[in-house]
Structure 1
Amino acid sequence: MRLVAVNRRRLGLAALAVALCVLAGCGQAPDGVLPGYVEGEFVYVASKLGGRLDVLPAVKGSRIAAGEPLFILEHDYEQKALDMAEADLAQAENTLRDKEKGLRAEEIDQLVASLNRARVIKSLAEIEHSRRENLYASGSVSKEELDKARTEHESSQAWVRELEAKLATGKLPQRIDQIMAARAAVDAARAGVAQARWNLEQKIQAAPVSGLVFDILHYVGEWVAASSPVAVLLPPENVKVRFFVPEALVASVSPGQRILVARDGIPEPVEAVVDYISTQAEYAPPVIFSQGFREKLVFLVEARFAPEAARTMHPGQPVDVRLAGVSQGTPQP
């Protein structure tokens, strides 16, 4: 799990970029051309837990793919906590299995052996009781000897029944309330493992998106506070152009419309697709005042580039936007 904050970071680049354009002599914009600037929506990657920054494979200005290592905080404590939680889970699962299967095999074997011995004694007692009855009928033994044989016979029968009951009970699992308690202990142990693993994952952060490593805010050896961003990423799909359309032209602009974006030093313009048109009119910002724009109502418009074209754009970069003669569709690089 990671903390990712998306910030529409302007850094004053909007005003600065167009101001430089004006100072450079933009003045009156050519017909059909609107001044604008490139903007990025940045992804700030942070950990919910604080710690010392131990590993920083990400390099400022390089590109990174989603899932690649971004930074690692010290995590010895979290690793040991996960190991302990997994050991507790294994113990709880073993206890549950033991309660669900009743007595161990060795204990069952012991009961079976005792039962077999009791059955032999019962057979001998039954034979002796029958013999004593015959002897008593012939007057060869006393009443006391017959009663003793009868008692031993009945006692051996009771012993066999007792051992048979113990064997049947031993093959059953323990009481349902004990099993339910053991299952609850397993669920709690699993939750403990999940929590410990989440804590560890917070210390080992991977890139949540693919894009440019725009900035590094902490370096190896520094203490990073909880929720403090370490790296700033700029995915290509988060790069857009912003420009202001005069009130007289806004009706001719619609979402999905293609526009052409030209940059200094690049002869061929690139395409972008309009995806946002402000519903509120505003006066042209002073920084883009010119003879053609002065004191006119304008509307903010945003358009996005194809990923290939977005990789060549730089936030704050001044551009010229042309609306005329462009159809609708998906942007092409």
Structure 2
Amino acid sequence: MPVRRALIATFTACCAIAALAALAGCEQRSGSHLTFQGYVEGEFVYLSSSQSGTLTQLSVQRGQTIAENAPVFTLESVDETAALQQAQHQLTAAQAQLADLLTGKRPPEVNVTKAQLVQAVAQANHAAEQLKRDEAQFRMGGISQQQLDDSRMNAQTTAAQMREMQNQVDVANLPGRGQQIDAQAAQVKAARAEVAQAQWKLDQKRVAAPRAGLVYDTLYRVGEWVQAGNPVVQMLPPQNVKVRFFVPEAIVGSLAMGRGVSIHCDGCAADVPATITYVSSEAEYTPPVIYSNESRSKLVFMIEAHPAVADAPKLHPGQPVEVRLP
């Protein structure tokens, strides 16, 4: 019995090794071509939003081919829309305050100050004339020294008031102080940044296709809550379809990026041409055995080839293919 179990175990291991070798892509000859087993692989693009929200619109269906920049899905955006409007209003207010500082007082305010100046000038002129008369009366002995001093004081006071009003008119025509203007200009820049940030968050609620391609799967339904960063749609652009196959160590040296190959698959009307885009620099063992000079024929290298964009839809991820080297 122990001998029988050992024979069965040995037989099972041999079958497993043979199966792995077949799947890995053993070299075959088809006429004048070398043929290797491989499979189709897709590098999927997962479309998501940086913001969370309820899925309100799903504009695509699984299996649909869409164009670049086509709308894909939309999340609810009530908060983001309100935040954008608030930021826009704050920007408008900040810009108005800056404009007010740059232009000084409004014309009606300046006119009021000018009217006060006219009144002050009239009072100063009247006081100056009264002072002249009082000085003449004092010389003739008509008024006392006290009355003359009062008249002189009134003339000086009204003249000072006139100069003050003139300065107020000059100040009213000036813009705000430099530091105030700089501070308000900084407020305007900050408000613009808030508007840009609010607009970006709102735009993140509407996701479009970065490239034309196949909608491979949809991962949410309308009405479901989508967490930020979770993919909603799985896309496969034709540029991301490739074929992987493995070649022995003796063959890899003759392969280089840019070399053409031919892909054959069951059900394909004709072979699909492709171009080698990657040659692995690291060897793999298939099946995994201990390295020795006797097992060098087991050493393989992974090769990747991309078909043309127009031919990519003929191939499907996971599909087994045969790759022929001319």
**Normalised by the shorter chain, which TM-score bucket?**
0.7 to 0.9
Q: Distance in 2 between matches of 1:76 and 1:62?
A: 30
Whether 1:311 and 2:313 are equivalent positions in the alignment is: yes
Q: Distance in 2 between matches of 1:247 and 1:102?
A: 83
Deviation at 1:277, TM superposition (A): 0.4
**Deviation string, structure 1 residues 132-184 (Cα, Å, up to 9, x no partner):** 22333333333333323222221121011101111222222333333333233
**Residues 198/285 of structure 1: CA separation in 2 closer, same or farther (3 Å cut):** farther
Aligned partners of 2:275 and 2:305 also within 8 Å: yes
Equivalenced residues, count: 296
**Deviation string, structure 1 residues 49-98 (Cα, Å, up to 9, x no partner):** 22211100111111222222111111112211221122122222222222
Q: Distance in 1 between matches of 2:28 and 2:252?
A: 19
What is the aligned partner in structure 1 of residue 121 from structure 2?
A: 119
Aligned partners of 2:28 and 2:35 also within 8 Å: no
RMSD after superposition: 2.5
Q: Distance in 2 between matches of 1:205 and 1:34?
A: 41
Whether 1:217 and 2:239 are equivalent positions in the alignment is: no
Q: Distance in 2 between matches of 1:28 and 1:241?
A: 18
Matches within 5 A, 1:147-226: 147-226=149-228
Aligned partners of 1:42 and 1:235 also within 8 Å: yes
What stretches of structure 1 of length at least 5 have no aligned partner?
1-18, 287-293, 325-333
Name whichever of 142-151 and 307-316 sits farther off: 142-151
Aligned partners of 2:91 and 2:191 also within 8 Å: yes
Deviation at 1:125, TM superposition (A): 2.1
TM-score by length of 1: 0.81
What is the aligned partner in structure 2 of residue 331 from structure 1?
A: none
Q: 2:243 aligns with which of 241, 244, 248?
A: 241
Aligned partners of 2:248 and 2:297 also within 8 Å: no
What is the aligned partner in structure 2 of residue 11 from structure 1?
A: none
What stretches of structure 2 of length at least 5 have no aligned partner?
1-18, 289-295
Q: Distance in 1 between matches of 2:35 and 2:27?
A: 12
Q: Distance in 1 between matches of 2:111 and 2:301?
A: 88
Deviation at 1:300, TM superposition (A): 0.5
Which letter maps to 1:178?
Answer: Q
Q: 2:72 aligns with which of 65, 70, 73?
A: 70
**Deviation string, structure 1 residues 271-295 (Cα, Å, up to 9, x no partner):** 2221110001112369xxxxxxx96
Q: Distance in 2 between matches of 1:27 and 1:128?
A: 124
Structure number with bigger Rg: 2
Which letter maps to 1:260?
Answer: S
**Residues 285/101 of structure 1: CA separation in 2 closer, same or farther (3 Å cut):** farther
Name whichever of 133-142 and 75-84 sits farther off: 133-142
Deviation at 1:314, TM superposition (A): 1.4
**Deviation string, structure 1 residues 102-136 (Cα, Å, up to 9, x no partner):** 32222111111111221122222222222322333
Q: Distance in 2 between matches of 1:73 and 1:236?
A: 27
Structure having the higher helix fraction is: 2
Aligned partners of 1:272 and 1:306 also within 8 Å: yes
Whether 1:323 and 2:299 are equivalent positions in the alignment is: no
Aligned partners of 1:71 and 1:206 also within 8 Å: yes
Which letter maps to 1:226?
Answer: A
Deviation at 1:215, TM superposition (A): 0.8
**Residues 27/187 of structure 1: CA separation in 2 closer, same or farther (3 Å cut):** closer
Name whichever of 193-202 and 270-279 sits farther off: 193-202
What is the aligned partner in structure 2 of residue 132 from structure 1?
A: 134
What is the aligned partner in structure 1 of residue 83 from structure 2?
A: 81
